[in-house]
Structure 1
Amino acid sequence: MVAGQPHTWPEMPAAARVVTDFLANLRLTGDAVAARRLFADRVSAHQVVAETDETVVRRPEEYADHVADMVAANGPFQIQVEELLVEGDHVYVRWHQQGWTDPNAGVDAARRPLREAASAVYRVAEGRIQEYWIQIDRLGALRQLTDSTTSPQEKK
């Protein structure tokens, strides 16, 4: 997926259009205008962090800032959508995102490629994302960060 170019197909369900628009225009860039258009006033993000569940409630501008901070630290990244399923107002997306390690994170001073697997279910109502459930392979990312002798490409 390329920033600013959401996936579309004929007769694409409205909920899927919102989610692909979100991925291409907000998740990749932190675009605050896209955040106000695609997010409800308060969005609950149900996240799996390590072995615990956590719910974070964000306003559109807060989510845009969150992504902008991520892009500033790690540089631009890409998303490759592997699967997208729609059932009514719920959209399931499984993807890989690829970017760079943050040399300021304190784990490794080198800037190296970083690839993470993720999946999420988004609930869309009134043309906006209302809440979502997300899982990101943080352990796989941590292994890439802490293994300073082998690059992610060499492990394949």
Structure 2
Amino acid sequence: MIIPENERLVRDFVADVLNDKRYDAITEYCHEDVVMHRPGDVDEVGLDAYIEHYRHLHRAFPDFHATIEDALADGDRVGLRLALTGTHEGELLGRAPTGTSVSFSAQIIYRLSDGRIAEEWHESDRLGLLRQLSAL
């Protein structure tokens, strides 16, 4: 099976940034004005905000791991369905660390431009995550 170039880039991004915590690689994968859209949150704009998002995620879950369950590529868009796991060892959404191992899902659509990520729309199962952390 041949994987489209845009899908390969996004798969590599997940491996390098989400799983291997290579924040320096974000500048290779993303436009400097990259935008992350998440329902209920303010859009995160620019490399610094994007990098800080992933640093915060990894502080909350030092052993965070994303597994790509499905990937779909169409033109300048790549959609992923992810299975996410980690142990809550740092502050998250105002919650103190619990030491709880969690698993939840996310769906992300990336828009690429000139071979780099320009925008992403991120939906994750926050309700399921908060339930696992006994936050509800």
Q: Where on the TM-score scale, by shorter chain, does this alignment land: which range?
A: 0.7 to 0.9
Change (3 A) 1:57 1:69: closer
1:103/1:23 CA distance change after superposition, 3 Å: closer
Greater radius of gyration (CA)? 1
Structure 1 pair 61–108 and aligned structure 2 pair: CA distance change class (3 A): closer
Q: Which runs of 4+ in 1 moved over 4 A?
A: 103-109
Provide TM-score, normalisation by structure 2: 0.86
- 1:25 and 2:8 matched: no
Instruction: Please give the per-residue CA displacement for 1:74-102, whole angstroms capped at 9, x wherever unaligned.
Output: 21211121110111111010011000123
Unaligned runs of 5+ in 1: 1-9, 148-156
Identity %: 28
In structure 2, the gaps of 5 or more residues are: none
Helix, strand or coil for the counterpart of 1:119? strand
Classify 1:41/1:146 alpha carbon distance in 2 versus 1 (closer, same or farther; 3 Å). Answer: same
Once residues 121 and 105 of structure 2 are traced to their aligned partners in structure 1, the CA distance between those partners, rounded to angstroms, is: 15
Match of 2:58 in 1: 71
**More displaced, 37-46 or 57-66?**
57-66
Q: Does 1:14 align with 2:1?
A: no
Is 1:85 paired with 2:97? Answer: no
Question: Which of 69, 82, 97 is residue 84 of structure 2 equivalent to?
Answer: 97
Asked if 1:46 corresponds to 2:37, the answer is yes
Q: Distance in 2 between matches of 1:25 and 1:58?
A: 20
